[in-house]
């Protein structure tokens, strides 16, 4: 059984990113190949902002997700339209918009909703966290 996680809840206004993190850790712990990918949509894309600085006595959610990607080779996709609208921009988008900086954190990648459709069709189940 392979899952795709669709996360739509803001990391600051919901527990979606936190709960999904607990789920993915549990799933990967028991079945190492059980997660095909994670797709962040709506305000959940804010997780991929490399310039966000959480207080030091709180969880660094971006870093926690980066560790998942690094340790388990799980791709972390951010919806490109939702991300760019919210200022989460990679190098190529930065050039396209003639900006001087980019803000996309390492291990996250910008992809269109077509990638989500592909994930939907190639995994057994999609679980939404909102």
Partner 1 sequence: MKHTLIHLNSSPYSSLACKEGLDLALVLATFEQPVDLCLSGAALALLTDNQEPTAEQGKNLHKLLAGLEFYDIENIYIEKNHSWLEDNPTWQGVQPLNGDEWQTMFSQYQQVFRF
Among 40, 41, 65, 77, binds partner 1 (CB under 8 A): 41
| 102 forms part of the interface with partner 1 (CB under 8 A) | no
User: Quick check: 81 binds partner 1 (CB under 8 A)?
Assistant: yes
Residue from 17, 27, 82, 119 in contact with partner 1 (CB under 8 A)? 82
What is Dmax (Cα atoms) for the chain?
Answer: 45
Q: Which stretch binds partner 1 (CB under 8 A): 20-28, 58-66, 93-101, 107-115?
A: 107-115
Q: Is 46 in contact with 52 (CB distance < 8 Å)?
A: yes
Give Cβ neighbours of residue 82 (< 8 Å, ≥ 6 apart). Answer: 40, 41, 42, 43, 45
116 interacts with partner 1 by CB under 8 A: yes
Q: List Cα–Cα distances, 63 to 69, 106, 108, in angstroms.
A: 10, 9, 11
Instruction: Assess whether 17 carries a catalytic annotation.
Output: no
Question: Does the footprint of partner 1 cover residue 8 (CB under 8 A)?
Answer: yes
Give the whole-angstrom CA distance, residue 81 versus residue 85.
6
- Residues found near partner 1 in the complex (CB under 8 A): 6, 8, 41-42, 81-82, 85, 112-114, 116-117, 120-121, 125-126, 128, 130
- Provide the annotated active-site residues: 79
């Amino acid at each position: 059984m392979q899952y795709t996680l669709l996360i739509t809840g803001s990391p600051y206004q919901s527990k979606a990113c936190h709960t999904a993190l607990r789920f993915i850790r549990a799933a990967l712990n028991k079945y190492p190949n059980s997660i095909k990918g994670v797709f962040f949509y709506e305000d959940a894309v804010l997780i991929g902002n490399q310039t966000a600085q959480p207080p030091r006595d709180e969880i660094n959610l971006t870093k926690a997700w980066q560790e998942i990607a690094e340790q388990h080779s799980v791709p972390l996709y951010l919806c490109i339209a939702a991300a760019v609208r919210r200022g989460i921009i990679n190098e190529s988008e930065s050039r396209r918009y003639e900006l001087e900086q980019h803000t996309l954190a390492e291990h996250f990648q910008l992809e269109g909703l077509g990638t989500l459709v592909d994930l939907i069709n190639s995994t057994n189940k999609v679980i939404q966290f909102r």
